[in-house]
């Protein structure tokens, strides 16, 4: 019974979308972001999605 794949796929999609949106926000010439509050929200969401993915990956390697 492997019902754990749906949240992993969802977090992977969230991480990719939010990561690309955060990448677009950053101006690498001046090292600033267009909207700092939105960039913070993107960063927190990206870190949460990455945390969930790493946590699940570690759980699979322990089995």
pLDDT of residue 38: 96
pLDDT of residue 2: 58
Distance CA 10, CA 42 (A): 16
pLDDT of residue 1: 44
Distance CA 21, CA 1 (A): 35
pLDDT of residue 58: 85
Which residues lie below 8 Å from residue 8, measured CB to CB, with a gap of 6+?
52, 53, 56
Per-residue pLDDT reduced to its tens digit, 30-61: 999 999 999 999 999 999 999 999 998 888 78
Distance CA 40, CA 9 (A): 23
Do the Cβ atoms of 48 and 58 come closer than 8 Å?
Answer: no
Instruction: Write out the two tokens for 19.
Output: 């990561």
pLDDT of residue 6: 73
pLDDT of residue 7: 83
């Amino acid at each position: 019974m492997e019902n754990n794949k749906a949240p992993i796929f969802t977090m992977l999609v969230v991480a990719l979308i939010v990561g690309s949106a955060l990448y677009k926000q950053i101006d690498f010439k001046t090292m600033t972001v267009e909207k700092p509050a939105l960039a913070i929200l993107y960063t927190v969401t990206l870190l949460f999605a990455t945390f969930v993915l790493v946590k699940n990956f570690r759980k699979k390697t322990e089995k």
